């Protein structure tokens, strides 16, 4: 699996590239997959690294320094998609500032949910105290998205977009590795 090879390459101390050592191949494939991706795919390697590292939800919501660039890029992407999909009806100039505030909130919560959204009651196992977890029953193993109905819908939409970007980047990178081999 590409993600496992990528993780091994990130944690290796030997980046030799010869007949016996192939640790650089996943790194090169991830970079090439970023270059060959469509719009919004330029941060696929960052998504992959954050997803593999198992970043806790609190780190994203508190705007941890290491995730600042990823969050900034994702916030811009959410704003672009929000304006394109007309999530907020802009009638006055001050509506633009409010829209950016909402888009930032959606970006933060969607990234936090995608990276660390395991259920707090059952820790993603779907079983709590020997029976099915009632806390995450609507989305087994995942923490329910908080907020109003419209906000939950937008966050869920962006979580699905993140998953799609992650899967597309991983598939492109795996294809680059197959071609190189």
CB atoms within 10 A of CB 65: 8
C-alpha distances in Å from residue 151, one per residue of 14, 102, 107: 46, 9, 11
Task: Give the whole-angstrom CA distance, residue 168 versus residue 181.
Answer: 20
Task: Give the whole-angstrom CA distance, residue 158 versus residue 102.
Answer: 13
Closest residue by Cα to residue 140 from 121, 158, 156: 121
Task: Give the whole-angstrom CA distance, residue 55 versus residue 59.
Answer: 7
Closest residue by Cα to residue 46 from 17, 10, 91: 10
Per-residue pLDDT of the chain (181 residues; tens, 9 = 90+): 777 777 777 777 776 666 666 677 777 777 777 777 654 455 777 787 777 766 555 555 555 555 788 888 899 999 999 999 989 888 888 888 889 999 999 999 999 888 887 888 888 788 877 788 888 887 778 888 888 888 999 999 999 999 988 888 888 888 877 765 5
Q: Tell me the pairing of strands 131-132 and 127-128.
A: antiparallel
| Token pair belonging to 134 | 């009632």
The confidence score (pLDDT) of residue 40 equals 45
| Token pair belonging to 78 | 């959410």
Q: Where are the domains of the chain?
A: 2-180
Does this model's pTM top 0.95? My answer is no
């Amino acid at each position: 699996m590409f993600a496992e090879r990528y993780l091994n390459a990130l944690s290796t101390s030997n980046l030799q590239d010869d007949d016996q050592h192939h640790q650089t191949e996943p790194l090169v494939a991830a970079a090439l997959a970023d270059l060959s991706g469509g719009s919004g795919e330029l941060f696929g390697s960052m998504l992959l690294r954050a997803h593999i590292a198992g970043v806790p939800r609190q780190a994203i919501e508190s705007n941890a320094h290491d995730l600042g660039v990823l969050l900034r890029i994702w916030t811009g992407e959410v704003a672009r998609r929000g304006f394109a999909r007309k999530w907020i009806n802009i009638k006055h100039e001050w509506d633009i500032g409010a829209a950016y505030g909402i888009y930032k909130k959606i970006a933060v919560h969607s990234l936090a949910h995608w990276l660390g959204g395991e259920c707090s009651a059952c820790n993603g196992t779907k079983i709590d105290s020997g029976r099915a977890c009632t806390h995450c029953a609507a989305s087994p193993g995942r923490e329910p998205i908080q907020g109003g109905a419209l906000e939950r819908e937008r966050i869920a939409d962006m979580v699905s977009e993140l998953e799609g970007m992650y899967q597309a980047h991983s598939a492109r990178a795996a294809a680059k590795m197959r071609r190189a081999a």
